[in-house]
């Protein structure tokens, strides 16, 4: 036994196991210390938009692109109102169209479905898609 060498009183195989355990413990404890740093670096997820899929028959689109969209569930229900954002985008399927074309397609058939996305912070419509 050499007092200047740790664990010299152990057999070689026991010393190996001891070193292996010490290494494992240091890796586990080091990982536990790093975990809060990694999780703190990841920003929390924030919901920016809400979306709805509606039959075009329950929507009343404004005549101009800067008006209010009315959603009418029934004749006695309160109407939900959403302003079109100044930079709102309009789609027919996957094709980008101007607001006039979008409104024409939506009003042509009341059975078409319309997907509407609304910015939660402002309540404005960011984009709308009519499904052909």
CB 93 within 8 A of CB 132: yes
In the chain, which ranges are E strands? 49-55, 59-60, 68-71, 80-92, 95-97, 113-119, 124-131
pTM above 0.75, yes or no: no
CA atoms of 52 and 56, how far apart (whole Å) = 12
Q: Tens digit of pLDDT for each residue in 57-74?
A: 888 889 888 888 888 876
Task: Report whether pLDDT(85) > 90.
Answer: yes
| Backbone dihedral angles phi then psi of residue 110, each to the nearest 5 degrees | -70, -10
Q: Tens digit of pLDDT for each residue in 18-57?
A: 565 555 545 555 555 555 555 556 778 888 888 888 888 8
Query: Mean pLDDT in the chain?
Result: 77
Beta carbons within 10 angstroms of residue 105's beta carbon = 19
CB 91 within 8 A of CB 130: yes
Collect all residues with Cβ–Cβ distance below 8 Å to 73 and sequence separation of at least 6. 58
Give domain limits for the chain: 1-44, 49-131
């Amino acid at each position: 036994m050499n007092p200047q060498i740790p664990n010299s009183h152990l057999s070689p195989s026991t010393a190996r196991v001891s070193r292996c355990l010490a290494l494992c413990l240091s890796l586990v404890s080091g990982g536990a210390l790093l975990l809060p740093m990694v999780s703190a670096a990841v920003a929390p997820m924030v919901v920016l938009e809400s979306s709805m899929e509606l039959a075009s028959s329950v929507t009343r689109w404004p005549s101009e692109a800067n008006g209010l969209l009315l959603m009418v569930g029934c004749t006695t229900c309160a109407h939900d109102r959403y302003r079109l954002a100044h930079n709102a985008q309009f789609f027919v399927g996957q094709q980008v169209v101007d607001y006039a074309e979008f409104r024409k397609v939506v009003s042509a058939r009341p059975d078409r479905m319309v997907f509407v996305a609304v910015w939660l912070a402002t309540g404005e419509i960011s984009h709308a898609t009519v499904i052909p």
